[in-house]
Structure 1
Amino acid sequence: MTKLLEQAFKAARNLPPAMQDDMARVIMAMTGNELPVVQLTAEEEASFDESLAQAERGDFATDDEVRAIWAKHGL
């Protein structure tokens, strides 16, 4: 590891965790090991998979269902 990179890591240790994670993502991307910005839980992944499957089947909300949701939230 170069001295400059060692200095950068030393400086990064004093940054807030979110900034450290941002820097880590940039380094990982530069090394070809890109990480997703958001880590989904298994439950969230399953929900997205089901949503995509519904879309592929053409299972969409009707106009009336959408209007009912909007009305429920005062929109």
Structure 2
Amino acid sequence: MNRILKEVLEHAESWPLEDQEELAEYAREIEARRTGVYTMSDDERAAVGKGLAEADRAEFVSDEQIAEADKRHDG
């Protein structure tokens, strides 16, 4: 590991958890770009699980809600 990276990681140990998680996310994105494999964070994994569970229960957004959102975003 090069000196600059070692220094950043040493400083990062004293950062707030939110900032450490942001740094980890950047690292995951770089690793995914280099290897073609993306590793989800725990939060992402939980969100996907929640979405799949909602789909299993057939909890979908109605066509009316989609149309209303389209109206708001079309300007």
TM-score in terms of structure 1 length: 0.54
Q: Do the aligned residues in 2 keep the contact of 1:28 with 1:34 (CA within 8 Å)?
A: yes
RMSD after superposition: 3.3
For the residues of structure 2 that align with 1:38 and 1:49, how far apart are their CA atoms?
A: 16
Deviation for aligned residue 1:44: 1.9
| Structure 1: unaligned runs, 5 residues or longer | 63-75
* C-alpha distance in structure 1 between counterparts of 2:31 and 2:3, whole Å: 18
Does the alignment pair 1:6 with 2:2? no
Which residues of structure 2 form unaligned runs of 5+? 33-37, 65-75
| Whole-Å separation in 2 of the counterparts to 1:49 and 1:26 | 30
Residue 21 of structure 2 is aligned to residue 21 of structure 1? yes
TM-score by length of structure 2 reads 0.54
Structure 1 position 43, deviation (Å): 6.2
Q: Give me the whole-angstrom Cα distance separating, in 1, the residues matched to 2:52 and 2:10.
A: 39
Q: Distance in 2 between matches of 1:38 and 1:48?
A: 15
> How many residues are paired up?
58
Larger radius of gyration: 1
Moved more, 25-34 or 7-16: 25-34
- Residue of 33, 40, 61 corresponding to 1:35: 40
Q: More helix by proportion, 1 or 2?
A: 2
